[in-house]
Chain A
Amino acid sequence: METLILLLVTGLGLGALYFLIASGLSLIYGLMGVLNFAHGSFLTFGGFAGMEIARRIGAETWPQFILAIIVGGAAGALFASLTELLLIRPLYLRHIEQALITVGLSLASVALMEGIWGADPIYVSGPAILSEVTEIAGARIPNDRFLLIFGAVAILVGMLAFLRYTRFGLIIRAGVENRSMVTALGIDVRTAFTLVFAIGGLAAGIGGVLASQYFGYVSPHIGGTLLIFAFIVTIIGGLGSLVGAAIAAAIVGVLQQLANFYLGGTGDLIVVILLAAVLLLRPTGLLGKRAH
């Protein structure tokens, strides 16, 4: 029972990381039809930015740590906005080329970060309480898991509120449904494009700081590994659906942990099988509406 609880919470924590990438991927794809292969780099960059803050001013107290999170998020958002403005926008509506250019960006940016920070992991620490454990029904659960889950839920709620209550949110929701009709109402959707990239980058950047707490280190390849599962989460959840991505992230994270423990390390395989099953039975994913 203790093991099961530990696995469930850890799975949700991992799912939280997947969600922080998948939410941006899903919004970007939903609105613009762009597969963003560089999204993992946004997360990695956020992680390194947070690490730099921690190295300079420390991250042992909560204000310091929160500053690291803010800087990480801002770094991700900045990187993402520049990507949209400089690389994606000139290739407006040419989806294959847009995907290709993000491939180039991911190669170049990972290599650049390797050049700057080295290929080896850099170990980071946060507030002491994160490396302690909390007992729930006898299970000893590392506190960083709760931070991840809290972070992902906060981002989900924030994004949903943004989409629901702001004019930009309205434009994004309408654009996911029917982009050309939004322009036919006299609205410049390109602003919304930059915005979803910024939001996605923000979530990924925060994810980078949180991921470095979960893994205990940050390395240039941290984003690429998570990205692959985030892709899977995005498809299972349904492209363009935030809530779908959240549900799928939780399912994938938990399933992976359970299978790794009870079925002899088959977690990744089970996830891919789940993906295949979803594709065959429900190609639009859990909450997806239509394919582009």
Chain B
Amino acid sequence: MSLLSVKNLHAKIAGQQVVEDVSFEVPESGVTAVLGRNGVGKSSTLKALLGLIERSGEVSFDGKPIQNLPTHKIIRLGIGYVPEDREIFAGLTVAENLRLAERDSKPNREMVEELFPDIYSRLSQRAGTLSGGQQQMVSLARALLNTNRLLIVDEPTKGLAPKIVTQVSEVLKKAAETVPILLVEQNLKVVKQLAGPCIVLEGGQVVHTGDSNELLDSEELTMKFLGVHGGGKETGVS
């Protein structure tokens, strides 16, 4: 049985249809990648299933229907969300950002501090003054502070320096050992390192499901669905 099951999901932003009839399943373990070109509705799909935008359809988490729950209740079922563009609270300090995110009675502070020593040395700094990479670390840390049953991660390496990309990728790989991840990622190198099954979107609809590596190893499929060459063997798309 799958952990998250999405059936006929539709979503609108400001009256405009951005997700049209999307259905897919996320298994109990491993990294499931959502792929596709820019603007095909990947982020919107994630937002829709979390109730962050207006949506309709059926979404069930661990067999429980969640399509009518408000966002905070969905999250409290045990979902960690790392949004696109990080969305840290720029005016708050790093410590405040982290404190706000703690929803468990016993948050995994030691584990997170071990993963991100850099941001723990800047606890009293305003999060808005951090570098992009550090902000991404804060955003990841916010999600990892709680014990989750699913992590939803949206383009975690977007706009980051190659060194940081590797670091983020390592963090996700480690997290994936204990928790299933639903990942939107444009960097195909990262996808190749992490992902098992994949879902490809186009025009707000699912056009392909299968195995990430199979897709990325096939020049033809990669070109067809993602519009890039190379299948991520040498050059990742950043």
Contacts and interface: CB of A to CB of B under 8 A. Distances in A.
A205 to B, nearest CB: 29
Interface stretch (A18-26, A95-103, A181-189, A209-217): A181-189
Contact of A186 (B87, B90, B92, B103): B103
Q: When A and B form their complex, which 4 residue pairs have the shortest distance between CB atoms, in order from nearest?
A: A186-B75, A183-B71, A186-B103, A181-B87
B142 A183 contact: no
A186 B89 contact: no
8 contacts: A177-B91, A178-B89, A182-B100, A184-B81, A185-B75, A185-B100, A185-B103, A186-B146
A197 to B, nearest CB: 19
B101 A185 contact: yes
A184 B92 contact: no
Contacts of A167: 99
Given A178-B89, A181-B83, A170 B72 contact: no
Contacts, number: 58
A173 B93 CA distance: 11
**Chain B contact residues (Cβ within 8 angstroms of A): what range?**
20 to 34
A180 interface: yes
Given A180-B71, A184-B83, A185-B142, A173 B91 contact: yes
A97 B81 CA distance: 31
A177 B91 CA distance: 8
Interface string B92-118: 100010011101000000000000000
Given A182-B100, A184-B83, A177 B92 contact: yes
Contact of A187 (B50, B81, B100): B100
A170 B70 contact: no
A173 B52 CA distance: 20
Contact of B99 (A170, A181, A186): A170
A174 interface: yes
Given A184-B81, A186-B75, A186-B76, A170 B100 contact: yes
A183 B70 contact: yes
